[in-house]
Chains A and B, each alone.
Chain A
Amino acid sequence: MAAETKIDDEIEKLRQEIQELRRNCAAKEKRLSELEAQQQKQNEQANAQQQQTSASSDQMLNNDDIARYSRQLILPNFGVKGQLKLKQTAFLIVGMGGLGCPSSQYLLAAGCGRLGLVDYDEVERSNFHRQTLHTEMSIGMAKVESAKQALQQINPHCQIECHRLLLNSENALEILRQYDVVLDCTDNVATRYLLNDACVMLNKPLISGSALQMDGQLTVYNYGENCPCYRCLYPVPPPPDTVTNCGDGGVLGAITGVIGSLQALEAIKVALGGLGGEVLAGRLLIFDGGRCQFRNIRLRSKRADCDVCSPKPMITQLIDYEQFCGMHASDKDMALNILPLENRLTVEEYKNEVLQRKHILMDVRQPAEFEICRLPNSENVPLKTILNDSYLQRFEEELKDEERGIILLCRRGNDSQLAAQHILQRFPQRAVFDIKGGLHAWHFKIDNSFPIY
């Protein structure tokens, strides 16, 4: 016991000391960059006086630039001109998640002049597998700040601006106006429409990437004469129940890595006028990671009757996008409330009153999720097999016993309601309940050693 306490104490002490050192280090880095900026300014002034020219740091390359960017400077279509152009371009990355991390990293490393980061969220452990700028030490920190810290280590010569907020119709135009190229690295439909409309109104190119599970998609909107906008392709938002986010559907980090890196590539090409190739405008790249297959699709031209980009647009100022889409502008799940209260059990009620009685506990999550963690007495009955009634056959014997309660369980208490509702329609007389808050509630209220994901 004594030895354990000693180790605990030492671990705690070390953690605090490291944190203190990091704070010191951050303060020193800040001071250093201030002094460096001051020095550079003085040098430039001296140079300017000497040479009687007005060349500023974004109109010429210094020795650090030349060494740092040499491998791209020697690219035939890039050159000094390209490097200077990049230095004069401001990029805005909306969403510092799986797509925003790699795209910001490559843009910054390549030497973009100014980089804006937008995200309202904080770093959590489930981000790490794909959001590669954030580290263990930044848990709980604002994603934009955590990303800025990491990015400054990669290239201290670029200006990074943090916008810690949820982009909406009120603030979007004001922020986007300060940048030349916008990258859509978001995770929800409402913000995608918002960014599209704002970019059309301000005439900014929009590099749009998305990813889910093993698939990715990429295109450039609002670049060139005939290029369709997001609304030209999708005039009507998808029904909310057809939209899956990464939190529910999962995604492999290497998939967002591929798409995010390609977003950086297209953003650089847009800034440099194509880089001797062809920007992905009017085309859609689809990436099937399962088969490692890329496909390039030719897209339609602008819609003559597009609500936002046609000559006579219906939408001339930003609207309420959450209302328009019937969905929230975040991938955080919203609690569903479709089941009558009398059919809902709290985790405590389940544990104290139902557990001892005759019942079937159906866990309606996907098999892959069930494999991660489960309650010992539960059966895995994926929601799909309830909605298509194939559970009837599987539980034929159990269902004959009308005394037996049917309890539905899922991760957070949404799918369990859908399942309970479906079963109640067939067996209105039976005791059918769902467990409020699902396994998350189990973790927080009953057993905090039960994992959450």
Chain B
Amino acid sequence: MTGDLKIVLEFSAGAELLFDNIKKREITLPSTEKWTIRNLLKWMKENILRERPELFIQGDTVRPGILVLINDTDWELLGELDYELQQKDNILFISTLHGG
């Protein structure tokens, strides 16, 4: 059994407003289970999401208009919800902007 999983969560373009307005945080996930984006989202909802959950999560995934980037790569290229988190991963959530 390896140690706990340390990853970095980042929020940009307004997504941080749902999470205490903190743009970057390091989190440690217990090594008791295999961590994927799917259960990371659940963990975030239970532990750090401060505003109305539907502004971030719909069903078991993020709501339309939020992009998830794993180490600066679109999560779609890496398996989306099923991507297995690695030590020191950087997960960035950005809300899409529409203003001009």
Contact = CB atoms under 8 A, between A and B. Distances in A.
Interface of A: 95, 97-100, 185-189, 192, 209-213, 215-217, 233-239, 241-246, 249, 251, 256, 284, 286, 288, 291, 295-301, 331, 384, 387-388
A10 to B, nearest CB: 41
A242 B95 contact: yes
Contacts of B69: 297
Residue among B12, B69, B72, B98 with the highest chain A CB neighbour number at 10 A: B98
Interface stretch (B26-34, B40-48, B60-68): B60-68
The 8 A-B residue pairs whose C-beta atoms are closest, nearest first, are A238-B65, A300-B76, A210-B97, A236-B64, A246-B99, A212-B99, A99-B100, A215-B13
Contact of B99 (A210, A288, A296): A210
Contacts of A186: 98, 100
Given A239-B63, A286-B12, A300-B74, A209 B95 contact: no
A233 B12 CA distance: 17
Interface of B: 12-14, 23, 51-52, 54-55, 63-65, 67, 69, 72-74, 76-77, 92, 94-100
B64 A211 contact: no
Contacts of B64: 234-239
Contacts of B73: 297-298
A252 to B, nearest CB: 12
Contact of B98 (A189, A239, A299): A189
A249 B99 contact: yes
9 contacts: A210-B96, A212-B97, A217-B97, A288-B13, A295-B72, A295-B92, A297-B69, A297-B72, A331-B99
B67 to A, nearest CB: 7
Find the residue from B51, B77, B100 having the highest chain A CB count within 10 A: B100
Identify which of A235, A249, A298 gathers the most chain B CB atoms within 10 Å of its CB: A298
B96 A234 contact: yes
Given A215-B97, A296-B72, A299-B74, 5 more contacts: A185-B100, A239-B63, A249-B99, A251-B99, A297-B74
Contacts of B98: 186-189, 192, 210, 212, 243, 245
Nearest to A241: B55
Contact of A212 (B13, B54, B65, B67): B13
Contacts of A242: 55, 63, 65, 95
A260 to B, nearest CB: 8
A296 B13 CA distance: 14
Contacts of B77: 298, 300-301
Contacts of B23: 288, 291
A158 to B, nearest CB: 22
A95 B63 contact: no
A306 to B, nearest CB: 12
A187 B99 contact: yes
B12 A288 contact: yes
Contacts of B94: 217, 286
Nearest to B67: A233
Contacts of B52: 387
A295 B12 CA distance: 11
A244 B51 CA distance: 16
Contacts of A297: 67, 69, 72-74, 92
A268 B81 CA distance: 38
A299 B13 CA distance: 17
Given A212-B14, A297-B72, A298-B73, A245 B96 contact: no
A186 B67 CA distance: 20
Contact of B97 (A97, A216, A301): A216
A248 B35 CA distance: 38
B100 A98 contact: yes
B31 to A, nearest CB: 29
Contacts of A256: 100
B55 A217 contact: no
A38 B12 CA distance: 53
Nearest to A130: B100
A244 B14 contact: yes
Contacts of A233: 67
A213 B95 CA distance: 13
A292 to B, nearest CB: 13
| Residue among B69, B72, B94, B99 with the highest chain A CB neighbour number at 10 A | B99
A188 B77 CA distance: 28
Contacts of A100: 100
A59 B77 CA distance: 44
